[in-house]
């Protein structure tokens, strides 16, 4: 086969032409023979069996029958007419019916010629009928590719309107297979094919479009899903290996005075086993002469900040500076306060840089950074400005990484001649399947246990009709000296409505919790930043007992005294958002509560989300359910994902295949990092053509 055959533009395929090609490009993004070949069916209609008319049941199933048309008539009805054909085989008779296009159809049909008809069966009285059947003369049917199961391809209204029906697309794919003689270059090595007993590539492509049986279809699907995920993993893992070989990291050889002093004298509580394990993984990275690129996942309150601080102390013991970058001023301020408190009287210089930092303070701060007097810089995006120069930045920590773009991360790399070690932290648990695909080029560490003394948050679901009981409960908690969050949804499309809900909610709260006995804060997106900070500050200091807010408090505020989180219209929030909001309470030693308020009408997905929240506090379990409900694209946002372009695999449903693919990609690169062995030539060729193409791999961040 000509190696460039699949790059041929679609208009060159017999039966397509420029107009159809334009429609296919606009509607389905198909431009070349390769694109059409990789337009995989969504589902299949089983055509492995031919029924006799005497075997029919009114089951509403699609069936296939061989017989002849012996009579045609036009029947008048209230609105328009219908064309009715009497269709017979040796066991009985039935009707074929058309409500549209009678004239054209009547001219095409041949009486007393054997046809194969396919369609859905209905029964009227004692007569079976089939409306608008697919029809093919038996002799044509026998000549074509033996399609046992009919493929149903993705479609759009515009395609149907322009006459590009499922049958037409099916014919195009058949034509492509005929012109290519069904021969496609193999893209996996003999050893992988043998070990996994995979179907050859050409056979898999034929059977994914026109399977002869369910068994062959399953084998074709496994082969093509494995291959797709294998190349995603190959790309990610080779990227990681190249980075390790080419990008020399700073070597942190000593675990010195600062680290040891903090460990023995300043730890507020004993580290959990999970924290110890993560610190050990990071220490191995820092001493390996390669640049660290690690993702640290840990649920809200699992103690990531202490791990981050201990790693920064390691950097300072080796003569390097560190910076920690957070997405918002509130979070940066919180990191700064938390770190200062943990360090106590230790001789470590730490400073905060945000958009609000005064000019005089900035100048001083820039000087201290450049002359090396400053050990740790905490900041927001302001850290990325060109004016911010370090003497020797050795470690950059990025918190809530999905809020920073790739370009912003790369700016940190250039703050030092040798790129600093990178630690990315997130409190949004990423399901393992997604982490392997999205962050497959990073090493992943997980803190999966909470520090001792933390009580799990009790979560309950209450309907609006129980509001009075909920308010009584809040009053009891306030009597005990606790504080309360009440969060309202904020979804851009309905901002005006949401704002009205929030203000209505605020008014009803101030009615039920009147001054001066109760103080209520309010925070929302339409407020000036200074007013927002003032209201937040009042709540943090305990001057107000109730904070009515939109989701602006999702990340940030740490108020150990707040013990109740009430989420209004909880059915309008996604699972990860509900989990993040719940994490705002439960930060002190007292029992905390999360109350999910909803109306009575709930969709099945909403019920699943609420049941999941009341059943578990485990962020990873919640993330797995979220992934199943929403799919990978929605979960990470399109920009992050690149996974939206998978043609056949689904990283949720095909989790096992993903793990198998990753294992084989790792083994292959261990054994033959440059893919130089003759037996790996098919993989090398496929890999190079993928790297040149605009397939999924180019989009992975």
What backbone phi and psi angles, to 5 degrees, belong to 548?
Answer: -95, 125
Say whether 80 sits in a helix, a strand or coil.
Answer: coil
- The pTM assigned to this predicted structure is 0.64
Mean residue pLDDT of the chain comes to 85
Convert the pLDDT of each residue in 579-632 to its tens digit: 888 888 887 778 999 999 999 988 888 999 999 999 998 887 888 788 778 765
Q: Which residue has the tokens 């003569």?
A: 319
Q: Which residue has the tokens 């996942």?
A: 297
525 and 507 in one domain? yes
Instruction: Categorize the per-residue pLDDT at 228 as very low, low, confident or very high, splitting at 50, 70 and 90.
Output: very high
For position 374, what pLDDT does the model report? 93
For position 493, what pLDDT does the model report? 47
Share of the chain above pLDDT 90, in %: 40
DSSP string, 123-161: EETTEEEEES-EEEEHHHHHHS---SEEEE----HHHHH
Q: What's the average model confidence in pLDDT over 88-96?
A: 94
For position 667, what pLDDT does the model report? 94
pLDDT over 80 (residue 169):
yes
Q: How far apart are CA 566 and CA 546, in angstroms?
A: 10
Convert the pLDDT of each residue in 284-313 to its tens digit: 989 888 888 888 988 777 888 899 999 999
In this structure, is residue 391 part of a structural domain? yes
31 and 10 in one domain? yes
For position 269, what pLDDT does the model report? 81
For position 612, what pLDDT does the model report? 94
CA 551 to chain CA centroid, Å, is: 21
- Least confident piece of the model among 209-218, 275-284, 489-498: 489-498
Which secondary-structure segment (H or E) carries 175? helix 166-179
323 and 226 in one domain? no
496 and 378 in one domain? no
Q: What's the average model confidence in pLDDT over 332-343?
A: 88
In this structure, is residue 188 part of a structural domain? no
229 and 360 in one domain? no
In this structure, is residue 632 part of a structural domain? no
Instruction: Categorize the per-residue pLDDT at 406 as very low, low, confident or very high, splitting at 50, 70 and 90.
Output: low
pLDDT over 70 (residue 432):
no
Domain range for 29 is 1-38+152-183
For position 693, what pLDDT does the model report? 56
Instruction: Categorize the per-residue pLDDT at 699 as very low, low, confident or very high, splitting at 50, 70 and 90.
Output: very low
For position 625, what pLDDT does the model report? 85
For position 193, what pLDDT does the model report? 96
For position 404, what pLDDT does the model report? 54
For position 393, what pLDDT does the model report? 92
In this structure, is residue 641 part of a structural domain? no
Instruction: Categorize the per-residue pLDDT at 49 as very low, low, confident or very high, splitting at 50, 70 and 90.
Output: confident
Counting other chains too, the contacts that 363-369 makes at CB distance below 8 Å and 24 or more residues apart are 369/321
231 and 124 in one domain? no
Q: How many domains does one find in the chain?
A: 5
For position 437, what pLDDT does the model report? 67
pLDDT over 80 (residue 338):
yes
Instruction: Read off the DSSP letter of residue 290.
Output: B
In this structure, is residue 670 part of a structural domain? yes
Q: Which of 323, 414, 417 is nearest to 369 (CA)?
A: 323
For position 553, what pLDDT does the model report? 61
Instruction: Read off the DSSP letter of residue 643.
Output: G
Q: How far apart are CA 142 and CA 127, in angstroms?
A: 29
**Positive/negative CA dihedral, 536, 542, 545, 551:** positive
**Domain stop point among 133, 166, 183:** 183
Domain CATH number, residue 408: 3.40.50.300
For position 701, what pLDDT does the model report? 31
CA 472 to chain CA centroid, Å, is: 40
Convert the pLDDT of each residue in 528-584 to its tens digit: 878 888 888 888 888 999 999 887 664 456 788 889 999 999 998 888 889 888 888
For position 635, what pLDDT does the model report? 45
583 and 468 in one domain? yes
575 and 556 in one domain? yes
Domain CATH number, residue 127: 2.40.50.140
In this structure, is residue 574 part of a structural domain? yes
CB-neighbour burial class of residue 155 (10 A; exposed 0-12, middle 13-18, buried 19+): middle
pLDDT over 70 (residue 34):
yes
Convert the pLDDT of each residue in 440-487 to its tens digit: 667 888 888 877 777 889 999 999 999 999 999 999 999 999 999 999
For position 253, what pLDDT does the model report? 85
Q: What's the average model confidence in pLDDT over 112-132?
A: 90
In this structure, is residue 109 part of a structural domain? yes
pLDDT over 90 (residue 681):
yes
677 and 604 in one domain? no
In this structure, is residue 200 part of a structural domain? no
388 and 463 in one domain? no
Domain CATH number, residue 175: 1.10.150
101 and 3 in one domain? no
402 and 318 in one domain? yes
For position 85, what pLDDT does the model report? 95
**Domain stop point among 376, 403, 426:** 426
């Amino acid at each position: 086969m000509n190696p460039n055959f699949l790059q041929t533009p679609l208009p060159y395929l017999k039966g397509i032409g420029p107009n159809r090609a334009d429609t296919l490009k606009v509607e389905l993004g198909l431009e070349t023979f390769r694109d059409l070949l990789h337009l995989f069916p969504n589902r299949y209609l089983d055509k492995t069996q031919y029924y006799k008319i005497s075997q029919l049941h009114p089951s509403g199933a699609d069936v296939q029958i061989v017989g002849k048309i012996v009579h045609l008539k036009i029947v008048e009805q209230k609105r328009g007419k219908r064309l009715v054909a009497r269709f017979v085989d040796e066991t009985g008779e039935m009707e074929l019916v058309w409500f549209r296009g009678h004239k054209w159809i009547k001219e095409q049909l041949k009486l007393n010629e054997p046809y194969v008809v396919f369609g859905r069966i209905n029964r009227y009285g004692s007569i079976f009928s089939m409306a608008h059947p697919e029809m093919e003369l038996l002799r044509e049917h026998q000549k074509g590719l033996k399609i046992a199961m009919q493929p149903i391809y993705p479609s759009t209204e515009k395609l149907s309107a322009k006459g590009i029906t499922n049958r037409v697309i099916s014919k195009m794919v058949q034509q492509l297979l005929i012109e290519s003689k069904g021969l496609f270059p193999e893209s996996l090595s003999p050893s992988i094919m043998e070990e996994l007993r995979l179907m050859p590539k050409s056979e898999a492509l034929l059977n994914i479009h026109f399977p002869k049986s369910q068994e062959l279809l399953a084998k074709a699907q496994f082969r093509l899903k494995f291959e797709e995920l294998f190349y995603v993993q190959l790309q990610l893992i080779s990227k990681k290996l190249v980075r390790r070989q080419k990008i020399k990291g700073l070597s942190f050889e000593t675990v010195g005075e600062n680290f040891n002093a903090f460990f023995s004298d300043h730890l507020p509580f004993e580290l959990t086993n999970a924290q110890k394990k993560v610190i050990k993984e990071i220490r191995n990275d820092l001493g390996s002469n390669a640049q660290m690129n690690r993702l640290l996942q840990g649920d809200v309150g699992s103690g990531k900040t202490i791990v981050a601080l201990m790693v920064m102390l390691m950097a300072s013991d080796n003569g390097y500076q560190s910076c920690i970058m957070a997405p918002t001023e509130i979070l940066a301020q919180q990191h700064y306060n938390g770190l200062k408190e943990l360090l106590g009287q230790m001789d470590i210089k730490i400073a905060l840089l945000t958009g609000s930092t005064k000019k005089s303070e900035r100048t001083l701060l820039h000087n201290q950074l450049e002359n090396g007097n400053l050990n740790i810089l905490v900041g927001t995006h302001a850290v990325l400005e060109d004016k911010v120069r370090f003497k020797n930045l050795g470690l950059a920590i990025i918190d809530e990484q999905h809020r920073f773009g790739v370009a912003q991360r790369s700016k940190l790399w250039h703050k030092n001649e040798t790129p600093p070690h990178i630690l990315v932290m997130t409190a949004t648990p990423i399901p393992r399947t997604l982490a392997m695909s999205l962050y497959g080029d990073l090493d992943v560490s997980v803190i999966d246990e909470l520090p001792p003394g933390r009580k799990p948050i009790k979560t309950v679901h209450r309907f609006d009709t129980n509001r009075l009981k909920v308010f009584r409960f809040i009053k009891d908690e306030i009597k005990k000296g606790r504080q309360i969050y009440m969060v309202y949804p904020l979804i851009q499309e309905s901002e005006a409505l949401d704002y009205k809900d929030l203000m209505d909610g605020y008014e009803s709260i101030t009615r039920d919790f009147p001054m001066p006995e109760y103080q209520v804060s309010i925070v929302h997106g339409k407020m000036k930043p200074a007013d927002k900070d003032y209201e937040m500050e009042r709540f943090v200091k305990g001057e107000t007992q109730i904070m009515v807010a939109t989701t602006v408090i999702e990340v940030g505020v740490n108020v150990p005294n707040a013990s109740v989180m009430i989420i209004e219209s909880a059915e309008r929030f996604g699972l990860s958002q509900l989990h993040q909001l719940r994490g705002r309470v439960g930060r002190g030693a007292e029992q905390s509560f999360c109350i999910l308020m909803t109306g009575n009408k709930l969709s099945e997905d909403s019920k699943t989300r609420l049941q999941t929240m009341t059943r578990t506090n485990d962020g990873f379990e919640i993330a797995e359910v979220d992934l199943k409900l929403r799919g990978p694209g929605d979960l990470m946002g399109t920009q992050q994902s690149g996974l939206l372009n998978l043609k056949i695999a689904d990283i949720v449903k095909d989790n096992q295949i993903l793990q198998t693919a990753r294992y084989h990609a790792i083994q292959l690169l261990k054994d033959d990092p440059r893919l130089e062995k003759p037996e790996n030539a098919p993989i090398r060729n496929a890999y190079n053509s993928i790297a040149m193409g605009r397939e999924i791999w180019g989009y992975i961040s």
